[in-house]
Structure 1
Amino acid sequence: MIDQLRDRILDGTYKPGEFLPSESELVQLYGLSNKSIRKGLDELVAEGLIVKVNRVGSKVTEKGHESTVVTLGVSSSIEKDIFLSKLLDDFNELYPHIRVKIMTITITNYTSQIESYLENEVIDVFTQNSLHFQELKESGALSMLEPLKAEKEIYPFLNDVFSHQSLQYAVPIVFSPIVLAYNRTHFSEAQVPEPDGSWTWEDALKHAETLSRGADGRLGLYFIMVSSLRWPVFLMQSGEEIGPDPSGGFRLQGSKLLESIRLCKRIIKAQDNYLGFLIEDNKDVMDLFRQGKVSMMLASYMALNELKDSSIDFDLSPAPFIEAPATMLHTIGVSMRKTDHVAARLLVDYLASSRAQGMIRKWTNSIPAVRSLNEIRLEERDSINRPSRYPLFREIMATYSSRSRLNLSAEAFDQLGRLLKRYWSDLITEEELCAKVEELLVNG
C-alpha cells in the first residue's frame, strides 16, 4: 500500500492539496486493518509526502511534487550498453518530478571512486560489473550499499553474481557471454565455412590465415587479448582449476593452464602488429571490424552496440575452445547507496522493470536480465542491425563461467593479468612466469 500510494503521489496521480482515499476506503481496497492503514500513512507523513488533517483526511504536500534529484554514477560505455538516455526519458515521463543527474566515472580506479562517492554521499545509484562488485566486497564497502530484493523474473545465475551472505547488493540489468563475431561477407568471398560450435582455436587460426591472405591490410582474427574480458576465457577453457591444491602447492609448469597461456601468446603473435599504437581499447577494434579491416573478433553482446547503426553483414558463433567449450559471463547491475531516498529506489526498480528491459531488448544488442523477454521471438522488422544468431546466448548458457571460477581475489586477478602481459610481451621468460605465478597463487 505504501509503495503504491507513494508512486501515485510522485507520478502526479494525487496532486498537491488533494486528499488520499479515506482510511475506511483504504481498509477495503487493501484488505488491511485500521491499525495497519494508520501505520502506513504515518510512514508517508514521515517522508513528508502527506499531512494528516484532523477529521478530514490525508492531504498530499508539495514535497511529493518538488523536483527531486537522483545522482546516477555510470561508466562511459553505459549509454551504448543500455541506451541510457532513452531509458531516462521514459523514466522522466513516469516520474516528471524526479531529475536524474548523470555522473560519469572513469574506468581507471572505478571502484575506488565509487567508494569515495559513497562515503561522501555524492551518488545515490550506480552501475557496476562483477569485477567491481568483487572489489567492493573485498574492501568491505558493501556495508555502504542498500540490500535489494532479488527479482524472480531475472535469471538466478545473474542474481548470484551480485549476492553475498544471502543478501543482494545489485540488480542485474544486462549480461553477455564472450562470443566470436565475424564478417559474413569476408567468409563468403574467401570461401571459408562460417564458424560454429565445433571450432577449436586451431580451426580459428587456420581460417584466419586464409581470410588474411591476399586482403589489403585485413586481419583474419584480431582482438585485445589483454582485456580482462578476453584472456580469462582461455584459462577457463584449459579445464584446470587455478589455485593451491589440497596440499597447499601449485605448479604451473607442465599444466594445461600453461598450454592455454602459450596459445594466447601464439594468437597475439599471429595478429599482425602493423596496427601498433592505433589500438587503445576494444572500441578501436570494433571500429576496424565495422570498416572491414578485421574478419573475426572476440566480443560481448554489449560491444555489438557499436554496430547496431551500421550496414555490415555480421553474425555470431560460440567462442572457439581448447579442451572444452567455456566462455566468460559479463554482467552489469545497478546498486543503491544505503539511504531512504525514495526516488533512488524508484530508479533502481525502473531499470530492472520489464518496461525498461523491453526497451533495452528493442533498441540495443545487449541481453536484458529479465528471462521472459528473451523467450519472446524478435520481430522481423528490427530497428537495429542485429545478428541473425542473436539468440545464440540461450543455447550456450551451460558454457558460462563467472569470474569466481578463477578462484582469485580481485588483487590476485590484477597481478596475474600484469604477469601475463609481461610474458606475452617477451619481457619475462616462461620459467620466470611460472615461478612468479606459483608464488602469487601459493603465497598470495
Structure 2
Amino acid sequence: MGIGKRTAFGDLYEHFRQDIRRQILDGTLRPGEFLVSEVRLAELYGISKNPVRRVLAELERDGLIEKIPCIGNRVCERPQPLEASRIQPPRTPAPVATLTLMVYEVCYELEVYKRVIALFEELHPNVKVKLDIVPNAVYTERIIEALSGGDQGADLIVLSDHHYYQLAHSGHTRQLEELTETAFPALGEVYPQLLSMYTSEEKLRAMPLTFSPIVYCCNTGIIPDPEQLQLHGWSDLAEAARRYTIPDANGLLRQYGLASTISFRRWLVFLLQNGGFVRDKDGTRRIDLRASAEALQFFCDLVHNNLLTPDEQGGLKADHFLFENNRVAMMMSSYYFMNDLQHLSVRWDVLPFMPGNVSGSTLLVGTGIAVPASGGNKELAHSLIRLLSSAEAQSQLKLGVCSIPAHRSVAENTRLFNPAIHPAHYHAFAGFMAEAVPLMELGVDYGQLYRITRELIYVWSRLESAHTVWDRIGERILSPVPG
C-alpha cells in the first residue's frame, strides 16, 4: 500500500466510526441492545482496542450508548423529536485549541508525523497542531528556551537521544514531564533498551518513537550477495575491507572497501565490541582503558587503510557521496541515514550480521517525544503521544521510512515491509538488539564525551597512538575511574 494514500489505519478507523453510528441510527442496533465486546469489535473491524474505546466514548458523549459497569455498552432509547418551541439556539462552537509540536529540521519521519497529525485533528475537530520546525544547529538551545515556558514554548518536543543526552548533562531533563506505563500503556510494547535513552534519575521523560542501530551497508553492485561475506569478527571485516579496496595502475584507488566517519557514533561501536565498557557490581558501566585503546587502534588501522572522513566536511557527507557513486563497497551507517540512500540509483543493502570481537554489540540511536512540565495542554499532548505510539501509527512509520518503530511487535513484523524503501535485509536489526546499547547506558556524560572526542583528534591526525591518548584520557577526564 502506498504511503502517499490515506493510511490503512485511517480508513479502518473511519469505517468503524461511521458504520457503528449508522447501525445505531437506522435501527440495525435497537434501543436496549448491547454491543459486542471491545475485543470483538476490534477483531471485526481490524483495529486495536484503543481506537474502539475512542469511538465508544464519542457515542456515549453523544447519547447514543450508555456504559453499564461490568456488563457492557447498551444502545440508548431514541429521543423524541423536539417541538419547534423547545429547540434551543445553536451553541457557540468550542474555541480551537492549538498544540505546538517542536521538531528538528532534518527529521526523516516528519512526513509520516504530518499524516498522523492530520488524523489526530480529525479525531479532535477543535484542535490544531502547529509544527515548529527548527534548524538542527540551534535545536538544543531552542529546546531549553521552550522548557522555560516563555514565548518559545512548546506543548510537545521531538528529541533525538543525543538531544536528550545534552539536556541530561545540563540538568534540563527535570523540566520534562515524567511518563508512566499507567498513562501510556504502549510503553509496555517498547524495546527495554529504548527506555533507558530517555530515563534520568529513574524517571522516564520521553516516549520512544523510532530507533536505529549502527550497522554496515554494502553496495550490492559491488557485493551482490552480502550473506556470502560471512563476517563473523573483526578479522573477517578487515579482510573484506582489504579485498574490496582496489588500486589502479597509477597508484590511485578506484574503490575503497570500507568507509566511515570519525563520529562518536562510529568509534564507540568498536569500544563496545571489544569490552571497552564493563559493568561494576552495582550494574553501572565504566570504561576499561586498555580494551578501549585496543579497539580504537583497530578502528583507526581499519579505516585509515580504507577511508576515514571527518564527521563534518562543510556539511558534506564524504562517505555517503562516494558510496552512492560506486566508489565504496561497504559503509558504516545507521537505519536513520538509510533514509538518505533510498532515493539513490545505486543498489544497496544492510549486512545481515554485526562482526564484533569480544561481542557483536552495537550502538543504538533513537527518537522520542516529550512533554514540557510547563506545558498548558498536557491532556491533548498526551492524546497525541498515545496516537503516535499506537500500533497503527507505528506501522505507518515503518512503511514510510527506514527508521525502525519503537513498538517491538510492529518492528519485528516481517509482513510490514516496503520494498520501495526498505533494503532486502531490513529486518536484520532483530539479531543485533540483544546486545545493542544506547549512549545513555555507557556511563560517560556529555561533557566527558565532548572532551574525549577532542583528545581523539590526535589519533585521527596520526600524531599519537590510541594507547597514548587513552592513557591521558583516563588520567585527565575519567580519573579516578580505573582502567
State the TM-score bracket (shorter-chain normalisation).
0.7 to 0.9
Q: Pick closer, same or farther for the CA change 1:88–1:384 going to 2, 3 Å.
A: farther
SS at structure 1 position matched to 2:422: coil
Q: Pick closer, same or farther for the CA change 1:228–1:69 going to 2, 3 Å.
A: farther
**1:204 to 2:237 alignment:** yes
**Contact kept? 1:184, 1:194, Cα under 8 Å:** no
Structure 1: where are the runs of 5+ without partners? 33-55
**Contact kept? 1:223, 1:282, Cα under 8 Å:** no
Provide, for residues 60-117 of structure 1, a one-character-per-residue CA deviation record: whole Å limited to 9, x for no partner.
8623xx4432222222221347743343344344444433222233434643431122
Deviation beyond 6 Å, 4+ runs, structure 1: 6-9, 242-246, 250-253, 275-278
Matches within 5 A, 1:69-80: 69-80=98-109
Separation of aligned partners in 1, 2:476 and 2:137: 27
Which residue does the alignment assign to 1:356? 393
**1:31 to 2:62 alignment:** no
Separation of aligned partners in 2, 1:148 and 1:287: 40
Which residue does the alignment assign to 2:381? 344
Q: Pick closer, same or farther for the CA change 1:297–1:161 going to 2, 3 Å.
A: same
Q: Pick closer, same or farther for the CA change 1:278–1:219 going to 2, 3 Å.
A: farther
Which residue does the alignment assign to 1:68? 97
Q: Pick closer, same or farther for the CA change 1:104–1:427 going to 2, 3 Å.
A: farther
**Contact kept? 1:186, 1:295, Cα under 8 Å:** yes
RMSD: 3.8
Total equivalences in the alignment: 397
Amino acid in structure 2 at the alignment position of 1:223: S
Provide, for residues 266-296 of structure 1, a one-character-per-residue CA deviation record: whole Å limited to 9, x for no partner.
13422347x7899456855334323322211
The TM-score normalised by the length of structure 2 is: 0.71
Matches within 5 A, 1:102-251: 102-108=131-137, 110-121=139-150, 122-150=153-181, 151-188=187-224, 194-196=228-230, 198=232, 200-214=233-247, 217-224=254-261, 226-241=262-277
Which residue does the alignment assign to 2:322? 288
CA apart distance, 1:388: 1.6
Separation of aligned partners in 1, 2:455 and 2:228: 35
**1:267 to 2:302 alignment:** yes
Which residue does the alignment assign to 1:434? 471
SS at structure 2 position matched to 1:223: strand
In structure 2, which of residues 420, 423, 433 is the aligned counterpart of residue 384 of structure 1? 420
Separation of aligned partners in 2, 1:383 and 1:95: 34
CA apart distance, 1:176: 1.7
Separation of aligned partners in 1, 2:279 and 2:391: 40
**1:319 to 2:378 alignment:** no
Amino acid in structure 1 at the alignment position of 2:229: P
**1:310 to 2:344 alignment:** yes
SS at structure 2 position matched to 1:186: coil
Which residue does the alignment assign to 2:17? none
Separation of aligned partners in 1, 2:227 and 2:179: 47
**Identity of matched residues, %:** 23
Which residue does the alignment assign to 1:88? 117
CA apart distance, 1:392: 0.9
Separation of aligned partners in 2, 1:278 and 1:432: 22
In structure 2, which of residues 324, 332, 335 is the aligned counterpart of residue 301 of structure 1? 335
Structure 2: where are the runs of 5+ without partners? 1-49, 71-86, 182-186
Q: Pick closer, same or farther for the CA change 1:334–1:240 going to 2, 3 Å.
A: same
CA apart distance, 1:145: 1.4
CA apart distance, 1:343: 3.0
SS at structure 2 position matched to 1:373: helix
Amino acid in structure 2 at the alignment position of 1:367: I
Separation of aligned partners in 1, 2:411 and 2:368: 17
**Contact kept? 1:183, 1:312, Cα under 8 Å:** yes
SS at structure 2 position matched to 1:104: strand
Q: Pick closer, same or farther for the CA change 1:279–1:220 going to 2, 3 Å.
A: farther
Provide, for residues 161-197 of structure 1, a one-character-per-residue CA deviation record: whole Å limited to 9, x for no partner.
3233443211010112111111122024xx9974345
Provide, for residues 203-222 of structure 1, a one-character-per-residue CA deviation record: whole Å limited to 9, x for no partner.
22322232231577432211
Which residue does the alignment assign to 2:410? 373
Q: Pick closer, same or farther for the CA change 1:378–1:312 going to 2, 3 Å.
A: farther
**Contact kept? 1:351, 1:357, Cα under 8 Å:** yes
**1:257 to 2:288 alignment:** no
Separation of aligned partners in 1, 2:136 and 2:357: 31
CA apart distance, 1:396: 2.0
CA apart distance, 1:7: 6.6
**Contact kept? 2:104, 2:136, Cα under 8 Å:** yes
SS at structure 1 position matched to 2:229: coil
Amino acid in structure 2 at the alignment position of 1:437: G
Q: Pick closer, same or farther for the CA change 1:301–1:286 going to 2, 3 Å.
A: same
SS at structure 2 position matched to 1:185: coil
The TM-score normalised by the length of structure 1 is: 0.77
Q: Pick closer, same or farther for the CA change 1:320–1:153 going to 2, 3 Å.
A: same
Amino acid in structure 2 at the alignment position of 1:299: S
Provide, for residues 304-341 of structure 1, a one-character-per-residue CA deviation record: whole Å limited to 9, x for no partner.
11222334332222333233211011121110112340
**1:334 to 2:369 alignment:** yes
